[in-house]
Amino acid sequence: MDDFPEKLEAFVDADTNEALPVMQETAPDDDDHQHYPARIDRSVVIGESLRHVSMWCLRVLLIIAAGYVGWLILGQLWRGVLPVILALIVCSVLSTPNMWLRRLKFPPAAAAMVTIIIFFAVIAGVFWLIAPSIGRQSQTLYYQVFDGILSVQLWLQGEPFNLDSDDLTNFFNEVAAWLQNQAGTIAGEIFSGIGMATSVVITLGVVLVLTFFFLKDGDRFLPWARQAVGETSGWHLTELLTRAWTTLAGFIRAQAIVSAVDAFFIGIGLMLVGVPMAFALSVITFVAGFIPIIGAFTAGALAVLIALVSLGFTEAVIVLIIVVAVQQIEGNILSPLLQSKAMNLHPVIVLLSVTVGGTLFNIIGAFLAVPVAAMIAAAFRYFQDITSLQAGEKTAEDINYISPFGP
């Protein structure tokens, strides 16, 4: 701290100090031996403060304007950006097995191709397993839903409610119409969000091709980027990209583990209770788990609803207890343990991210919201590290650089 005055003096603008009008104190009497320092006019102090505030406001407005322009550009290019984002997410899952194959002396193209084939074979196998179950039990479940609605209607007509049958019939008809409308809306959102370019098939085809080339040539990107923008800027760029990629991959892996644990134990519970389509519901639980908070709640509510209409109230309560117990253990123990290292985001930020993403980009936005927020947070932490380094609060050894092309 001995050199603090010198450091502080380095940040003082000499020209500004010279421009500040100084008001000298009246010379004290000879009997007064106190020495009064020179004073600066209050109007100058207020003016300097307002100047700093106005400059900060101008900078913030410029950042907001740049962000708005970027948002407009993203909206125009979203049809082409979406396949790239989805391909990067798939690559974050497949990068590890792809590297395993490369260590086994597979050529890059062959390793990428084998990895993609195995990945889609697993997905096709899962759908092949759940499709017959859904086909066999969907019609039975359809009739059970109407039987359940009729039972509830008769129960409400009796004691102690004594509701009018016509009012109940109109109410359930409105609910059925609303559900049909929501189902159509959700289906439309899926096709408009994923197949925005032309169709789902074409979009998935583009994702497949991009995934192949990302797996095959992805390791060349960082050296090329650093060489393209220069040594100093390349250092920051490669570090930011590496941190963003590490955060994305960590989120996908952590969420996959959490979703798999939820799906396994909830699926076991559904099978023990005897809920129809238990395996299909466990798969839905796994997929929905990639949308934090909202996905798990939706999948659990669906399982409870199917148990209610197919088995009865008691079994539905048991399923509810199973779902809540598994999600509480996952949410309070497993998920914080895994995701704290991957994202380090407060649950409020996660919930707000999912809400905003879902509002702006529907289902795709809800799915992408948390990894995007985590990558933004990673970039902000790097900005804080560099700021602390330049302010002398940290040294280069205090910063954990993760890029292989860092300093």
Confidence of residue 210 (pLDDT cuts 50, 70, 90): very high
The amino acid at 374? A
Q: What's the angle, vertex CA 284, arms to CA 322 and CA 324, rounded to 5?
A: 20
The greatest distance separating any two alpha carbons of the chain, rounded to the nearest whole angstrom, comes to 108
List Cβ neighbours of 192 (8 Å cut-off, separation of 6 or more): 362
C-beta separation of 40 from 20 below 8 A: yes
Burial of 159 (0-12, 13-18, 19+ CB in 10 A): exposed
- DSSP class of residue 6? H
Alpha helices for 104-164 (secondary structure H): 108-157
| pLDDT score recorded for residue 116 | 92
Tokens of 1: 């701290």
Model-wide pTM > 0.85: no
Q: 136, 133, 138, 129: which is closest to 306 by C-alpha?
A: 138
User: CA separation (Å) from 43 to 18, 23, 53, 149?
Assistant: 16, 12, 15, 76
Inter-helix orientation angle 165-194/347-390, to 10°: 30
Is 9 a residue whose pLDDT tops 50? no
Which one is predicted more confidently, 108 or 334? 108
pLDDT score, position 114: 92
Q: Which helix (H) or strand (E) holds 191?
A: helix 165-194
Handedness of CA 384, 389, 392, 393 (dihedral sign): positive
Q: Dig out the tokens for 146 from the structure.
A: 């109407």
269-272: long-range contacts, CB 8 A cutoff, minimum separation 24: 269/319, 269/322, 269/323, 269/326, 270/303, 270/307, 270/319, 270/322
Distance (Å, whole) CA 267 – CA 285: 9
**Residues 72-101: tens digit of each pLDDT:** 998 888 878 888 888 988 898 888 899 999
Look at residue 304 and tell me whether its pLDDT is greater than 70. yes
d(CA 18, CA 39): 13
Residue 13: pLDDT band (50, 70, 90) is very low
Provide the strand spans (E) within 24-157.
Answer: 39-40
Contact (CB, 8 A) for 326 and 262: yes
Is residue 26 scored above 60 in pLDDT? no
Q: In this predicted structure, what is the pLDDT of residue 126?
A: 81
Confidence tier at 188 by pLDDT (50, 70, 90): low
Backbone φ and ψ for 172, nearest 5 degrees, come out as -65, -35
Length of the chain: 407
pLDDT greater than 90 at residue 175? no
User: What distance in Å separates the CA atoms of residue 355 and residue 362, rounded to the nearest whole number?
Assistant: 9
Residue-level pLDDT at 381: 86
Domain definitions of the chain by residue range: 230-400
Distance CA 126, CA 267 (A): 14
The mean per-residue pLDDT over the stretch 245-251 comes to 84
